[in-house]
Amino acid sequence: MSERRNEEQGRHRRFTRRAAMLAGGQVLLLGALAGRMYYLQVVEAEKYKLLAEDNRINIRLLPPPRGQIVDRFGTPLAVNRQNYRVLLVSEQVRDLDASFDRLDRIVALDADDRERIRGEIKRKRNFVPVTVKENLSWEQVSRIEVNAPELPGVSIDVGETRHYPYGDVLSHIVGYVAAVSEKELTGDPLLELPGFRVGKNGVEKLHDEELRGTAGTSQIEVNALGRMIKELSRQDGHPGREVVLTIDAGLQSYVHQRLANEQSASAVVMDIDNGELLALSSVPSYDPKPFNIGLSRKQWLDLVNDPLSPLSNKSIAGTYAPGSTFKMIVALAGLAGGIGADHKVYCPGHMTLGNHRFHCWKRGGHGSLDLEGAIQQSCDVWFYDVSKRVGIDRIAAMARRFGLGEPVGIDLPGERGGTMPTKAWKLANLGQHWQGGETLVNAIGQGFVLTTPLQLAVMTARIASGRAVVPHVTRGLRGAGGVELVRPEAPKLDIPEAHLDIVRAAMDAVVNSARGTARGSAIEEPGWEMAGKTGTSQVRRITKAERAAGVIKNEDLPWRRRDHGLFVAYAPVDKPRYACAVVVEHGGGGSSAAAPIAKDIMLETQRRDPLGNEPLPLVAQGAGQKA
């Protein structure tokens, strides 16, 4: 009995101990749980509150308005315009093909459009809107709104798109914007926004970062799936700066229109004192709008395969033999080499060097001429003689002082430098020694010499002003912290003024004397007279047999075998302010094709007198900064 009682007491004590241990464990567990809850809810409250807010609130970038581009007087050249686009939310659409068919009656949707939209729907969540079409007309927007009950999941959104009021008139200068490519992604989140555009050419590309501005932000409340519930707050960004150009849009329009009758041509007008470009035109041109909204493959191939190269800015990238417009450089090289302005050469219509005959453009010859007469009548033989005495290297050195043979540094992408040959250049590039006859050919602007219309305008401006002006199209930037681009005064050329005066007088005679090659294009208005020089650039070799039978006239040749026509000028003669260069591809002679165009351009330039009108101020009085 006693043993049984002892056994029960032992069992009771064991049970009591186990119960106590279990209760203690429960208390310990509850204490740990309570401690953890306290730690999470009190000690770590801020941390988890922030994490919860991050899951509940999305920060979205808001693209800033792109800065405008305006001309020297404030005329808009590139602006932003409302862009109506139609969006589609796939989760609200039962039959995608049926929705496409209904929309196709209002906005055309081809197979490529449908494939693109399906691809975007697959990549995005089904409640995220997908862009169907952009740049809708008001009529299309109205029709979509009226038919909204039959178009579930379809809505209209309003954004901004780039608009170019002058279209192809200024596309080679202003450029265009287009979608960001993969190689242009730099980590800037702004570039990854759907529909964001960046500058791809011209001023749009040159000043892209200044034109972009800074992005704004929007706080969006979303649910656990990321669906937008409401906008909590918005902070707008800062629009891009306004870029002010040196161009006069009115003069640019006139120049473009004056060239429009030619198959391919270019013209440049500039301020001879500071290098401001007032007009820079190249035809044919292109419409920048399709690049913004997206070029079709056919549109791109049409532009690329066009034999007249509308995408090329021929004013800065077209290279041509300068023909007789180069003769002023040879004359200056001769003067620098000690050959006087009274140096006379008899022209019988040709010059013989070794066993080769070099012809003058005038078959019967010009007779005896000095420097002024040689430029006035564009005698080739006089320049053959002088070039033999001076040599190609000294001619090339003079040419470079006037902006030929290398890029002149215009603030536009795509400039080419042309070619100004020397003996060393030929040996390095062709592996051949220089021949004496090549000096003669290059002295009349043929052979290896290649220049751009811009270089010819710069050469003319430097002759007229005596200063090493550098051309540019940007006057400055306007906006918050406005910047005025201050350029130092162009330095004087290391050329005796007397030598420049001799050449200027000869250029005056080219246009305003009875025997000048451009006398038919003289400006009659008193005080507006221009000085200039004609040039004809051959693109084919004239054989001995053809010379004997009679040289075929340009108008009787296929267009691509005709000579280029060139003309350079400055005006007014007495107080030069404006310089001009015109190149008409395969237009024939410079006096017949290019000089009449230059006359009209110089007349219009002086009539408008952009340098005499007050330009748009860049920086408010006492504000901004200079760079």
Q: Which residues are known to be catalytic? A: 324
DSSP, collapsed to helix, strand or coil, labels residue 216 as strand
Asked whether 605 and 269 are in contact (CB, 8 A), the reply is yes
Q: Where are the alpha helices (DSSP H) in 39-84?
A: 45-56
The phi, psi pair for 353, rounded to 5°, reads -130, 115
- Contacting residues for 188 by C-beta, under 8 A, at least 6 apart: none
290: exposed, middle or buried (Cβ count in 10 Å: 0-12, 13-18, 19+): middle
In DSSP notation, 382-406 reads HHHHHHHHH-HHHHHHHHHHTT-SS
Scanning the structure block, which residue is given the tokens 């002058």?
166
DSSP, collapsed to helix, strand or coil, labels residue 482 as coil
Closest C-alpha to 477, from 612, 617, 270, 279: 617
Q: Take residue 459 and report the two structure tokens written for it.
A: 């050469």
- Contacting residues for 378 by C-beta, under 8 A, at least 6 apart: 324, 327, 361, 510, 517, 533, 534
Scanning the structure block, which residue is given the tokens 């902070």?
235
Length of the chain: 627
Question: What is the 8-class DSSP label of residue 204?
Answer: H
The phi, psi pair for 495, rounded to 5°, reads -130, 130
Sign of the torsion formed by the C-alpha atoms of 113, 114, 115 and 120: positive
Asked whether 521 and 598 are in contact (CB, 8 A), the reply is yes
Helices 380-390 + 327-336 axis angle, to 10: 40
Peptide bond into 572 cis (omega under 30): yes
CA distances from 69 to 163, 198, 475 (A): 11, 14, 11
- Contacting residues for 73 by C-beta, under 8 A, at least 6 apart: 248, 249, 610, 613, 615, 616
